[in-house]
Amino acid sequence: MHNIHIAGTGIWFPDEKISNEELINSYNSYVDLFNYENHSKIQEGLLDSMEYSSIEFVEKASGIKSRHVIDKEGILDINRMMPRVNNEHEDRLSIHAEVGIKAAKKAMKQASVVSSDIDAVIVGSSHSARNYPAVAIEIQKELAVNGYAYDMLVGCSSTTFAINNAFSDIASGLAKTILVINPEISTPAVNFTHRDKHFIFGDGCAATIIQKDSSSEKSFRILDRKLFTQFSNNIRSNYSYLNRAAIDAKDNDDLLFHQYGRGVFKDVCPLVAKLISDQLESNNIDPKDISKFWLHQANGKMIRLITSKILGTDDFDSTIAPMPIINFGNLASVGSLFAFNLDNDLEAGQKGVICSFGAGYSVCSLIVEKT
């Protein structure tokens, strides 16, 4: 068995925070404005009127009570309804690199490594800052890391898929220590004028040091990895460099994050529960011997249902499946790492599961053991 560890993790999130009350007040004000400005078209049947949302609806649908965002003012401005960001520019760090470096420094400190110890940088996220050059290479330059670096995209599974790639590179002898960074600046991809989508995402970033023979006090050995993909359009964004040349114009909502939520819930919950259950069985591990399930923070219902399916009961201690989604919202691929980073005080020998899942569909599950 390879002696490869998660040697340390670090997280970053913006200081600005939007409560459900603030978000709903803004959204409902936008509804009033839209219905007023389009009164004639609505009366003529050319447009549907918009409906109010509520705190009760948001919390029942998602379990989310607040989210951290890069620009609160822009999102709550009913004449804008999106964060204010700068375009990519050659003379300054990209926002993905900027937040990635902040999380990376925390992970490096926890793992007791310096830049010269790192052999590679892998950046995995749901949204890319640009097509090229790779953000990972930009971060590599800023941190003065030798070796190689690359970006990868696997939707909300990007974090664990990137950790899997780091594990494979180390196991093959390409590297001994790899820095994995997952910047998820998701709010620019959200339609804040859409009742079913505007409350879902927050912004954040996680970083992980994957290392062979780690002696870090926070180290977890990676015991097993299991990956699965199956194509589906139920979670999708059609934003692309092809859009500017497209002869069939797309509306803005189609270019942003969109999903068929009920289909995702129906498909993904049993898929993930079975994958983890099968993985535990193949490793001769009783699900009841798992101390923590650090799952993708899609929504509270999915986390509870998947955990209950794995354990075979609805009667379990809720702390076994941490839910930072309550305060941070859905953080795309870094939700499982936020859960892990914020709640991993295990004793030596105790085991946990880190699992990300999402668009694709894609799933990657890691069984880890505290050393």
Catalytic residues: 156
Residue 191 contacts residue 368 (beta carbons within 8 Å): no
Tokens of 6: 């998660």
- E strand intervals along the chain: 4-12, 17-19, 66-68, 120-125, 148-153, 177-184, 204-212, 220-229, 235-236, 258-259, 290-295, 351-358, 362-370
What DSSP assignment string belongs to 42-97?
HHTTSSPPP----HHHHHHHH---EEE-S-HHHHH-TTT-S---PPP-TTS--HHH
* Long-range own/partner contacts, residues 349-354 (CB < 8 A, 24 or more apart): 350/291, 351/223, 351/285, 351/289, 351/290, 351/291, 352/220, 352/290, 352/291, 352/292, 352/293, 352/294, 353/276, 353/279, 353/280, 353/290, 353/292, 353/293, 353/294, 353/295, 354/160, 354/163, 354/294
Residue 295 contacts residue 268 (beta carbons within 8 Å): no
Instruction: Choose among 270, 267, 125, 262: nearest CA to 196.
Output: 262
What DSSP assignment string belongs to 298-332?
S-HHHHHHHHHHHHT-S-S-GGGS--THHHH-B-G
d(CA 137, CA 144): 10
Cis peptide bond prior to 133, omega within 30° of 0: yes
Coil, helix or strand at residue 235: strand
